[in-house]
């Protein structure tokens, strides 16, 4: 068993850390206050190649492995959750789905510009009335000749107003089991009948874009359907295996950010004649953050390793996501406690960490959903059926070849 | 043209440096490429991109120094060479300059670029001493290179000096120390990272450089931490920002800071 990151991994980490420390951390507080996404974020991530980190070079990406994606997400979320959210939707939920399920034509047409960062991508599954109950969605896609006509609304969609492409899951057959009546579509968001907008007044991820997509008689060519008709639920669940991986890695970064802020403050702040790090109850909080950081990191890295090996990782990724997001919420809350009254103000970053951490325990499967999943695996109620298209194992030679 | 850029592996600037019994320690803080050297690498890459040529990064040190070289490779340098020899373990600046000069000569470099100083010892004289050994013009504190003529063997630089900018023209080959104003260093690219991670970096010993162990000219008699200074804080209050600013100015003048 090798716990060592490769030199390549460490250099990727350092590069993203350098970017966030120089360009993001100094300004993110102001954008969070303004409740706007800094306009430079997406183009800069694109320019640096981050938006295509783990996509094969032949499809416009950088050709790194799935562990690199996790490390990038951890580093991004140390700076701000909103940057990791970009990776969750653009890469985890959309681009990786194209890699897994797309035809060669779809990869050339949609994946290549996404991996190059020329087009941004998002993912539309949740509806105003259907979140955890995916199969309860109302949005429809009706086949008419060589086209589908899409109607419905998607809600809580990260990058809805910024993305060029969305992967949306719609009901194509109302007459079968709800799980079998869904299909996935690649939707260009400039098609007639599509409207998008941002949601304001969020508790966290305020420097990010979260919005809605409305579809009214939107005509989409049949070649935009991802996978077979009726395969939408399976595709959506496989997307979550990748999205949750990015969330787990990012939440691990948020634990680290809380830990680092707490350690720094515990050295600086003095009470009763000594620095507060000397007090055992402060030490206890820091010890728990250390514990959860190391555990969360191991969980997501194992999930990344399984992806590299081409092993199904629904169970492991769910566990990593559940643990890391719960831990990030706890760590951020305790980091505020370490900071005392100052932690309660936005003069310090820890209150932003807490606000940002709350979303993670809700999106991409609430903590409760993951508990049910884990219990299901343990009790033998749940097994993962084989997919028609599995996420391809990482093959350095194939990934790095020009094609 | 061949451009040599010299980089050093140093403790991270955020490291907590301690001195105990004359021994300097930075704990378990990571070693990084000297931040000033990143500007030199950037300058070298920009010059090569504009005027043609290739850039080789050199570092003197043990195996750890390869990290700095890999950073330079990931930024875009074409080659990297480690200069490593047990006889250089405690080399002073003059001895280091002799080894670096030999490397520049061995490679046929026409430009040797350095960061203006290294953040560990901060001597800031390695570029000039290397130039002296080579017999090349030493162009220090370079903020811009408005003209470079590899065929005509001339270079014009702007030096950032206290009074402003000084424009200097010189013959090539030359040694330059680069300051921050030159250009913001680029991040390593992902493709560069892959190339760097896979690179086999050659090591040159003194024998490879064709020189014998250079003698130190400086003897370090002792190292001690600066004495701790008493610091007190005072929060200035007032009725308005203007009032607070006025009180602050009075304080600054009163304390003789300005």
User: Is the Cβ of B197 closer than 8 Å to some Cβ of chain A?
Assistant: yes
Residue B52 and residue B175 in contact, taking contact as beta carbons nearer than 8 Å: no
Task: Assess whether A20 and A95 both reside in one domain.
Answer: yes
For residues A52 and A32, membership in a common domain is answered with yes
Element (H, E) at B83: strand B79-83
- Are residue A170 and residue A311 in the same domain, yes or no? no
Instruction: Please give, rounded to a whole number of angstroms, the shortest distance from the CA of B234 to a CA of chain A.
Output: 16
Query: Over 80: is that where the pLDDT of A93 sits?
Result: yes
**Nearest Cα to Cα of residue B131 among B8, B2, B45, B4:** B4
- C-beta of residue A248 within 8 angstroms of C-beta of residue A325: yes
pLDDT at B248: 93
Contacts of B191 in chain A (CB under 8 A): 49, 62
Predicted TM-score (pTM) of the model is: 0.91
Q: What is the pLDDT, as a whole number, of residue A324?
A: 98
What pLDDT does residue A37 have?
Answer: 97
Tell me whether residues B187 and A19 touch, CB distance under 8 A: yes
Residue in the structure block whose two tokens are 């691990």 = A252
Which chain A residue shows the shortest CA-CA distance from B189?
A48
Contact A253, A154 (CB under 8 A): no
Nearest CB to B188 within list A6, A15, A53: A15
Per-residue confidence (pLDDT) for residue A228, from 0 to 100: 97
Closest residue by Cα to residue A102 from A43, A165, A12, A173: A165
Predicted-complex ipTM score: 0.88
CB contact under 8 A, B187 and A18: yes
Q: Which among A5, A6, A7 is the top mutation candidate for probing chain B, defined by the most B β-carbons within 10 Å of its own β-carbon?
A: A7
**Nearest-Cα residue of chain A relative to residue B197:** A8
CA distance A9 to chain B (A): 9
| Structural domain total, chain A | 3
Q: Among A231, A261, A285, give the residue marking a domain's end.
A: A231
Of B71, B190, B196, which has the smallest distance from its Cβ to A49's Cβ? B190
Long-range contacts: B212-218, Cβ < 8 Å, 24+? B213/B85, B213/B87, B213/B88, B213/B95, B214/B91, B214/B94, B214/B95, B214/B98, B214/B99, B215/B95, B216/B90, B216/B91, B216/B92, B216/B94, B216/B95, B217/B92, B217/B94, B217/B95, B218/B92, B218/B93, B218/B94
Partners of B71 on chain A (C-beta within 8 Å) are 11
B-chain residues within 8 Å CB-CB of A55? none
Measured over the CA atoms of residue A182, residue A188, residue A192 and residue A193, the dihedral's sign is positive
> What is the CATH classification number for the domain harbouring A210?
2.40.110.10
Q: Which two tokens stand for residue B231?
A: 């610091």
Nearest chain A Cα distance for residue B170, angstroms: 35
CATH of the domain at B22: 3.40.50.620
| Position A33 in a domain | yes
Question: For the ranges A130-144, A166-180, A220-234, B70-84, which has the lowest average pLDDT?
Answer: A130-144
Instruction: Tell me: do A112 and A185 sit in the same domain.
Output: no
The answer to whether position A1 is within a domain reads no
Separation of alpha carbons A353 and A84, rounded Å:
13
**Residue A143 near residue A101, CB atoms below 8 Å:** no
Q: Is B229 a domain residue?
A: no
> In the predicted model, is pLDDT for residue A279 greater than 80?
yes
Residue B164: partners with Cβ closer than 8 Å, 6 or more residues away: none
Nearest CA of chain B to the CA of A51: how many Å?
11
Catalytic entry in A77, A231, A330, A364: A364
The verdict on B16 touching A (C-beta cutoff 8 Å) is no
Which residue of B42, B193, B231, B233 is the best one to mutate when testing the A interface, meaning the one whose CB has the most A CBs within 10 A? B193
CA A187, CA A182: separation in Å to the nearest integer? 15
Q: Which two tokens stand for residue B102?
A: 């030999």
The pLDDT value recorded for residue B227 is 86
**pLDDT truncated to tens, each residue of chain B (258 aa)?**
999 999 999 999 888 889 988 888 998 888 899 999 999 999 999 999 999 999 999 999 999 999 999 999 999 999 999 999 999 998 999 999 999 999 999 999 999 999 999 998 888 999 999 999 999 999 999 999 999 999 999 999 999 999 999 999 999 999 999 999 999 999 999 999 999 999 999 999 999 999 998 889 888 888 988 888 888 888 899 999 999 999 999 999 988 887
pLDDT over 90 percentage in chain A: 97
**A364 is an active site residue:** yes
A78, A104, A120: which is the final residue of a domain? A120
Say whether residue B217 is in contact with chain A using an 8 A CB cutoff.
no
Q: B208: exposed, middle or buried (C-beta count within 10 Å: 0-12, 13-18, 19+)?
A: middle
The CATH code of the domain that includes A107 is 1.10.540.10
Residues A48 and A104 occupy one common structural domain? yes
| Residues spanned by the domain of B104 | 2-209
CB contact under 8 A, A15 and B70: no
B25 touches chain A (CB under 8 A): no
B188 vs chain A: nearest CA distance in angstroms?
6
Same domain, A384 and A302: yes
- State mean pLDDT over A193-212: 96
Q: Is residue A108 part of a domain?
A: yes
Provide the residue range defining the domain that includes A15: 7-120
Output the CA torsion sign for A46, A49, A54, A57: positive
Q: Which of A231, A253, A286 is the last residue of a domain?
A: A231
Lowest mean pLDDT among A135-139, A217-221, A361-365, B206-210: A135-139
Residue A357 sits in a domain whose CATH number is 1.20.140.10
- Are A11 and B193 a contacting pair at CB < 8 A? yes
What angle is formed at CA A165 by the lines to CA A160 and CA A169, rounded to 5 degrees? Answer: 80
Task: For residue A305, tell me if it sits in a domain.
Answer: yes
Q: How many CB atoms lie within 10 A of CB A203?
A: 10
Contact across the interface for B187 and A53, Cβ inside 8 Å: no
Per-residue pLDDT at B121: 85
Same-domain pairing of A112 and A157: no
Mutate to test the interface with A, among B190, B197, B198, B200 (most CBs of A within 10 A): B190
Contact A15 B74 (CB under 8 A): yes
Of B71, B189, B197, the CB nearest to A8: B197
In a domain, A144, yes or no: yes
- Domain annotation covers residue A403: no
Residues A262 and A389 in one domain: yes
The Cβ of residue A175 has, within 10 Å, a number of other Cβ atoms equal to 6
Around Cβ A23, how many Cβ atoms within 10 Å? Answer: 17
Residue B142 domain-assigned?
A: yes
Selected residues 58-87 of chain B with any CB under 8 Å from a CB in chain A: 70-71, 74
Let me know if residue B199 belongs to a domain. Answer: yes
Q: Are residues A371 and A270 in the same domain?
A: yes
pLDDT band at A306 (very low <50, low <70, confident <90, very high): very high
pLDDT number for residue B15: 87
Locate B223 and state its tokens. 């190292």
The token duo for B19 is 């001195």
Which chain B residue is nearest to residue A11, measuring alpha carbons?
Answer: B193
Contact A62 B191 (CB under 8 A): yes
Say which residues have a Cβ less than 8 Å from residue B255's Cβ, sequence separation at least 6. Answer: none
A165 assigned to some structural domain: yes
Please give the residue of chain B at the shortest CA–CA distance from A51. B190
The contacts of residue A291 (CB under 8 Å, 6+ apart) are none
Chain A residue closest in CA terms to B184: A22
The Cα angle at residue A151 between residues A145 and A157, in degrees rounded to 5? 125
Contact A7 B70 (CB under 8 A): yes
Q: Tokens representing B173? A: 């080959």
**Is B236 inside a domain boundary?**
no
Do residues A98 and A205 both lie within one domain?
A: no
Q: Tell whether B241 is covered by a domain.
A: no
Q: How far apart are CA A231 and CA A236, in angstroms?
A: 9
Is B230 contained in some domain? no
SS3 (DSSP) at A135: helix
Contact across the interface for A7 and B189, Cβ inside 8 Å:
no
Number of structural domains in chain B? 1
Same domain, A381 and A272: yes
Looking at the structure, tell me whether residues A13 and A87 fall in a common domain. yes
Count CA within 13 A, CB hemisphere, residue A51.
Answer: 26
């Amino acid at each position: 068993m090798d716990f060592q990151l490769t030199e390549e991994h460490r250099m990727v980490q350092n590069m993203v850390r350098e970017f966030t420390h120089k360009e993001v951390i100094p300004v993110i507080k102001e954008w969070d206050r303004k409740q706007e996404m800094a306009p430079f974020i997406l183009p800069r991530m694109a320019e640096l190649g981050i938006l295509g980190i783990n996509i094969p070079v032949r499809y416009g990406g950088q050709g790194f492995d799935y562990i690199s994606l996790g490390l990038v997400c951890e580093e991004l979320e140390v700076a701000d959750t909103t940057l990791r959210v970009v990776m969750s939707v653009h890469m985890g939920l959309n681009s990786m789905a194209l890699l897994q399920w797309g035809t060669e034509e779809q990869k050339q047409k949609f994946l290549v510009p996404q991996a190059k960062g020329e087009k941004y991508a998002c993912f539309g599954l949740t509806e105003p009335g259907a979140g955890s109950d995916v199969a309860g969605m109302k949005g429809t896609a009706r086949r008419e000749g060589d086209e589908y006509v899409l109607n419905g609304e998607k809600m809580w969609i990260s990058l809805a107003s910024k993305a060029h492409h969305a992967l949306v899951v719609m009901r194509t057959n109302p007459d079968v089991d709800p799980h079998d009546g869904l299909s996935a579509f690649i939707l260009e968001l400039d098609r007639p009948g599509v409207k998008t907008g941002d949601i304001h007044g969020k508790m966290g991820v305020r420097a990010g874009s979260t919005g809605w997509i409305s579809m009214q008689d939107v005509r989409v060519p049949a070649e935009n359907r991802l996978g077979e008709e009726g395969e939408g639920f399976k595709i959506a669940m496989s997307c979550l295996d990748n999205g949750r991986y990015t969330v787990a890695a990012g939440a691990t970064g948020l634990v680290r950010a809380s830990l680092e802020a707490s350690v720094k403050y515990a050295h600086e702040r003095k009470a009763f004649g000594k620095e507060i790090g000397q007090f055992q109850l402060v030490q206890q909080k820091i010890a728990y953050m250390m514990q959860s950081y190391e555990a969360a990191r191991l969980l997501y890295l194992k999930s990344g390793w399984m992806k590299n090996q081409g092993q199904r990782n629904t169970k492991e990724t769910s566990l990593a996501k559940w643990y890391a997001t719960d831990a990030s919420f706890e760590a951020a809350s305790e980091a505020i406690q370490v900071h005392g009254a100052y932690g309660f103000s936005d003069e310090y970053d820890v209150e932003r960490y807490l606000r940002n951490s709350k979303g993670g325990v809700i999106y991409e499967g609430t903590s409760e959903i993951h508990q049910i999943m884990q219990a299901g695996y343990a009790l033998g109620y749940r097994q993962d059926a084989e997919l028609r298209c599995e996420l391809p194992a990482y093959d350095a030679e194939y990934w790095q070849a020009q094609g | 043209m061949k451009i040599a850029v010299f980089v050093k592996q140093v403790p991270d600037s955020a490291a907590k440096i301690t001195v105990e019994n004359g021994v300097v320690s930075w704990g378990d803080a990571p070693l990084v490429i000297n931040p000033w050297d990143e500007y030199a690498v950037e300058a070298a890459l920009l010059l090569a991109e504009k005027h043609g040529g290739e850039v080789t990064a050199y570092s003197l040190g043990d195996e750890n120094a390869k990290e700095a070289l890999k950073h330079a490779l990931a930024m875009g340098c074409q080659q990297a060479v480690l200069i490593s020899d047990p006889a250089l373990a405690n080399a002073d600046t003059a001895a280091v300059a002799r080894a670096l000069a030999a490397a520049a000569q061995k490679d046929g470099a026409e430009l040797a670029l350095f960061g203006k100083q290294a953040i560990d010892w901060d001597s800031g004289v390695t570029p000039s001493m290397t130039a002296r050994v080579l017999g090349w013009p030493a162009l220090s504190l370079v903020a811009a290179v408005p003209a470079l003529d590899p065929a005509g063997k001339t270079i014009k630089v702007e030096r950032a000096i206290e009074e402003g900018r000084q424009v200097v023209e010189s013959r090539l080959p030359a040694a330059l120390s680069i300051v921050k104003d030159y250009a913001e260093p680029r991040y390593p690219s992902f493709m560069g990272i892959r190339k760097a991670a896979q690179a086999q970096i050659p090591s040159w010993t003194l024998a490879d450089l064709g020189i014998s162990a250079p003698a130190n000219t400086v003897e370090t008699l002792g190292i001690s931490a600066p004495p701790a200074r008493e610091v007190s804080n005072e929060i200035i209050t007032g009725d308005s920002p203007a009032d607070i600013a006025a009180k602050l100015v009075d304080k600054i003048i009163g304390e003789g800071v300005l």
